[in-house]
Each structure stands twice: as C-alpha cells, then as structure tokens.
C-alpha cells in the first residue's frame, strides 16, 4: 500500500532524514521516501498506517496532512511536475511585481541603467524581508548549498542583512560601484553552490525566499542569480 503525506516544517536535509527515520520506525512500514522540496512523504506498507500515530511521533514543528493515494506512477509524475510549477508561482509573481515597480519608477524619464538599479535594489529588499522572517530556518537551508555558509554558519545569519544593505545602496544610489562589485561576488559564490546542487540532482529547498514559502531548488534559482550578476556586470562596464 502506498500512502502520501504532505509535511510542512522541513527546512534542511537533517529534517528530511529525521522525518524519514521516524516514519520508517512505524510497525508495518516497508519503505519511506521523503522529498524535501515538495514536502511530500510516501509510505509503503502492507497495511494502512494510522494517521494519528504519525502525528504523534513527529514533533509539533511538523504539520502533517493526508494526500490522496495514487496507484499509478505516471499519475504521480504528472502531479509532481504540476506541483513544482505551483511551488514556483510565488517567485514568478514577486519578480513580476519588482519588474513592474522598476518600470513605473522610471517610465517618465526612462533610463535603462536606473531601471536596473531600482530592480536590483527592490530585489534585495523584498527577498531579504522573507529571509528575516525566519533567520534561523533560512540559515539552515542556505548552508545546504552556499559554499561560504557551509564553512561559516554565521554568514548565513548575516546574509539577509547584507541584502538589506545592498538594496538600500542601490535605491539611494550610494556607492553604486561597490554595491555592484559586492553583488557579483556574493551572488557569484551562491550561484556556484546552486550549480553544484543542480548538477548533482540533489533535492533541497531554495532559501532565496526564506522558509516562509516552500520553494524547490530548480533552474529558476540559477536564472534569477545569473540575471542579477549579468545586470551588475553590464552596469560596472557601462
């Protein structure tokens, strides 16, 4: 029997392993698969597993809900694909709002350079807001792929405030050159980690919008970082 659960509250690989071990310890369970990005857990068992028992063995930080059981793997693949698109929807909406705001701020006296600076400033301010909502959770997720945060966990805790600082520098046009160089360095390092994760095909959460939104690590994360780096380079040499 295959049972699918939706579990929120998992922020890192450690959480995923913990949940998998707990579910696997239940009587009658043959195998358990837990996906960190989608927040899904699939339990394979000979008999139905008590949902109330599942909620008892998992700490209160994890919210568990039942999902409809799927009998066909093809159906499961389709649902996972749709789920990934749905999960990325908040990211696309936020980027669209930032783009529209950047255009509106400059449409009267149009300047592509100023529009890019405003976009980068708003990008940092908005994205840092979601990270600051749960700095501890963000830091744990961030160190799963950022090379510097892996070696220096404190970097993950101060990273949201680095974004706030860079955002304010861009929006106020204060030491723009320095802000552009820092953008290339900071996002360049993170992009290396993102690329390594995508190449290795590891399934982890993207920390770009903190832990408030359950976003998977996908090519979209690479594209958003690459876009910021390209804009920074173009403004440095313009």
DSSP letters along the chain, please? Answer: -EEEEEEE---SHHHHHHHHHHHHTSTTEEEEEEETTTTEEEEEESSPPPHHHHHHHS-TTSEEEEE-----HHHHHHHHHHHHHHHHHHHHHHHHHHHHHHHHHHSTT--HHHHHHHHHHHHHHHHHHHHHTTHHHHHHHHTTT-HHHHH-HHHHHHHHHHHHHHHHHHHHTSSHHHHHHHHHHHHHHHHHHHHHHHHHT---B--TTTTTS--B--HHHHHHHHHHHHHHHHHH--
pTM here is: 0.68
pLDDT at residue 173, rounded to an integer? 95
Fold of the domain built from segment(s) 2-71: Alpha-Beta Plaits (3.30.70)
9-40 pLDDT, tens per residue? 787 788 888 888 888 888 888 888 888 877 88
Domain locations in the chain as residue ranges: 2-71, 84-236
Tell me what the mean pLDDT of segment 122-146 comes to: 91
32-73 pLDDT, tens per residue? 888 887 788 888 887 777 777 888 888 888 888 876 444 434
Query: Across all residues in the chain, what is the average pLDDT?
Result: 85
């Amino acid at each position: 029997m295959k049972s699918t659960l939706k579990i929120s509250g998992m922020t890192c690989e450690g959480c995923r392993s913990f949940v998998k071990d707990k579910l696997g310890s239940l009587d009658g369970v043959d195998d358990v698969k837990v996906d960190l990005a989608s927040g899904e857990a699939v339990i394979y068992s000979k008999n139905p597993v008590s949902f109330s028992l599942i909620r008892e063995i998992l700490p209160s930080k994890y919210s568990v809900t039942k999902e409809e059981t799927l009998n066909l793997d093809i159906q499961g693949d389709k649902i996972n694909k749709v789920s990934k698109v749905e999960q990325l929807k908040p990211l696309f909406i936020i980027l669209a709002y930032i783009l529209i705001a950047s255009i509106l701020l400059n449409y009267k006296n149009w300047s592509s350079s100023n529009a890019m600076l405003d976009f980068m400033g708003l990008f940092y301010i908005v994205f840092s807001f979601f990270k600051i909502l749960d700095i501890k959770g963000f830091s744990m997720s961030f160190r799963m792929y950022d090379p510097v945060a892996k070696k220096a966990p404190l970097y993950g805790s101060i990273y949201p405030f680095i974004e706030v600082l860079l955002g304010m520098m861009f929006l106020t046009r204060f030491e723009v050159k320095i802000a552009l160089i820092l953008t290339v360095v900071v996002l360049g390092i993170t992009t290396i980690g993102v690329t390594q994760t995508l190449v290795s095909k590891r399934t982890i959460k993207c920390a770009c919008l903190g832990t408030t939104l359950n976003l998977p690590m996908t090519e979209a994360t690479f594209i958003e970082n690459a876009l910021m780096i390209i804009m920074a380079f173009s403004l440095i040499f313009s």
